[in-house]
Amino acid sequence: MKIHIYQIAITLISSLMIFKGFENYIKGKNGQTVLKLLVRIIVWGGMVLIALFPRFTNILASTIGMEGNINAIILTGFILVFLMIFKLLSAIERLEQSLSQVTRNETLKEIKKED
């Protein structure tokens, strides 16, 4: 089996992302859940699988009933883009909430001191 540079790059990046996911989960970082870890493994693991075994898309296409494997790739691409947007919006939401909390603490610091 001939390995291309892009396959090595995707495998390395994906492995790193999965490793970070495990690290975050084990260290119990804020907001880390089993579900998030699973999603991370499925997304990045799926990318490794497709990169190393491109014919996997044929199996996927026939399993979900699509004619050509290009459709499966486009669909996977859409899912990945959706997940990325979802993650970005979640991060913005978390930042907004942190900002509100900091603003609130600053506003109420005087009465908190007295309390």
Partner 1 sequence: MTYFENSKIFIVIPAFNEETVIQGVIKEVQSAGYENIVVIDDGSSDNTQAKAAELIGKMAFRHKINRGKGGATKTGIEAAKLLGADIIVTIDGDGQHDPKDIAKIIAPILEKKCGVVLGTRLLNPKGMPLWKIFANHFGNFCTWFLFGLWVTDSQSGFRAYSKHAAELINTRADRYEYDSEVIREIHLHKLKFKEIPVAVRYTKYSMGKIHKQGFINGFKTLYKMIWGLIS
The site for partner 1 (CB under 8 A) is made up of: 86, 89-90, 93, 96-97, 99-100, 103-104, 106-108, 110-112, 115
Least distance to partner 1, CB of residue 89, Å: 7
Give whichever of 67 and 106 is closer to partner 1, judged by the CB atom: 106
| Other Cβ atoms within 10 Å of 21 Cβ, number | 19
Give whichever of 5 and 111 is closer to partner 1, judged by the CB atom: 111
Dist. CA 71–CA 68, nearest whole Å: 6
Burial 55-73 (b: 16+ CB within 10 A, else e): eebeebbeeeebeebeebe
Least distance to partner 1, CB of residue 104, Å: 5
- For residue 67, give the DSSP letter: S
Least distance to partner 1, CB of residue 93, Å: 6
Give whichever of 15 and 90 is closer to partner 1, judged by the CB atom: 90
| Other Cβ atoms within 10 Å of 38 Cβ, number | 13
Give whichever of 74 and 99 is closer to partner 1, judged by the CB atom: 99
